[in-house]
């Protein structure tokens, strides 16, 4: 039987095993691999698993380890899923699919996106926003890191001057929300789902990070198994 896992640190409390079990009615094994070093986590993958999901802080490390990169992985510079193949290890970034499908599901047209944050999730958010046809602006605590994402940038203290119709918020729930974040007229998709910072914000529509998690998982599980996962069962599991 094929075996799969999520690697990262920390990963306790992740919903991925529950989603994966629901997707295929428990037909495949799926484990959590929590290691303080990427090298240790990668070795567990080599020894035990056919494919892995990759979460923080190892998405950039995984990018450098694979043999083949998908288009989304190349565009983002980050990998959140790796599978074995006859070509070697193939890296994907299904976080992009997660954002695109979550926003489409909302049903509200968007054209001006603000990405808040500069980490691995922000990289995926930028690519996804472009696929949705948006003009993209990035803000974060480091303007240097924001500029590296190849979009218009704005200092985090100046976001109140913007009028986006889509905010892709990728800061951790423990980080302070930028003062004046212009949520009122925007669709807000927040990556953090365990301790969201914007769930009560006044906005046009709020999309939980659980929808992002769900849709990236659907795309990823297809790549793992070659089989269609049950979206209905996965949604119920959330």
Active centre residues (catalytic): 59
Residues 125 and 170: beta-carbon distance below 8 Å: yes
Quote the CA–CA distance of 233 and 226 in Å, as a whole number: 18
Q: What are phi and psi of 145, to 5 degrees?
A: -70, -35
3-state secondary structure 28-74: CEEEEEECCCHHHHHHHHHHHCCEEEECCCCHHHHHHHCCEECHHHH
Strand partners, 207: 189
Distance CA 27, CA 4 (A): 11
Task: Find the length of the chain.
Answer: 238
């Amino acid at each position: 039987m094929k075996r799969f896992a999520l690697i990262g640190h920390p990963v306790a409390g992740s919903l991925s095993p529950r989603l994966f079990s629901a997707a295929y009615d428990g037909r495949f094994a799926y484990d959590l691999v929590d290691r303080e070093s990427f090298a240790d986590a990668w070795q567990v993958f080599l020894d035990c698993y056919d494919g892995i999901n990759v979460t923080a802080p190892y998405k950039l490390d995984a990018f450098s380890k694979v043999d083949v990169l998908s288009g989304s992985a190349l565009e983002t510079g980050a990998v959140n899923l790796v599978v074995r193949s006859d070509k070697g290890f193939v890296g994907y970034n299904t976080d992009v699919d997660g954002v695109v499908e979550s926003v489409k599901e909302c049903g509200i047209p968007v054209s001006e996106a603000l990405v808040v944050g500069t980490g691995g999730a922000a990289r995926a958010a930028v690519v996804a926003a472009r696929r949705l046809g948006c003009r993209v602006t990035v803000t974060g605590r480091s303007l240097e890191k924001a500029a590296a994402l190849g979009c218009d940038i704005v200092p985090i203290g100046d976001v109140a001057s913007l009028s986006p119709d889509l905010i892709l918020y990728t800061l951790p729930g423990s980080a302070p929300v930028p003062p004046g974040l212009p949520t009122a007229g925007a669709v807000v998709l927040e990556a953090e789902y365990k301790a969201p910072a914007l769930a009560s914000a006044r906005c046009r529509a709020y999309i939980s990070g659980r929808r992002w998690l769900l849709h990236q998982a659907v795309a990823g599980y297809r790549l793992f198994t070659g089989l269609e996962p049950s979206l209905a069962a996965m949604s119920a599991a959330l």
